[in-house]
Amino acid sequence: MLMLTRRSVLAGVGLSALAPSVLWAQKRAVFFATENGAMSGFDAVAYFRGGRPMRGRPDVMVMWKGAAWHFVSQEHREAFERNPRAFAPRFGGYCAFAMAHGQLSSADPTAWKIVDGRLYLTHSPVVEKIWEANMADYIRKAEVNWPDVLYR
């Protein structure tokens, strides 16, 4: 006969509650990527050096933090390799507006802003307009949620 004690029930509930979140957390990448790589294959350095989104080339690529980062030139790749955190989008390239609401969402690399030297992406040009209306507040809220949102 199986005897259930308070301790065994609590332990079982604790483990069953923890197991799905641990498994789910392992599936969420720190950087949002598509089959084309991080930032859907766009060159992170181009936003800072060219002032616009530019699709990178698959043959000028580096792996960083589990994602393939593509660049328009070897010069951009080398700049990224020297200091990837200076160029990588904030909040792992997930939508900054969604992050402000504690959610993960894909991002459109053509919906972007550089604020205080950091690259932010949003889900779409429509969402970008909403986000722009109160960027400072949304960034502050997103900072509170990042990176814990990856483990929820």
**Residue range 67-111, pLDDT digits in tens:** 999 999 999 999 999 999 999 999 999 999 999 999 999 999 999
Position 114 pLDDT exceeds 60: yes
Cis preceding-peptide flag for 147 (omega within 30 of 0): yes
If pLDDT is split at 50, 70 and 90, which confidence band does 28 have? confident
State mean pLDDT over 136-150. Answer: 97
Residue whose C-alpha is closest to residue 47's, from 14, 87, 91: 87
- Give me the chain's average pLDDT, please: 87
Its pTM surpasses 0.75? yes
Q: Residue 9: its pLDDT value, please?
A: 32
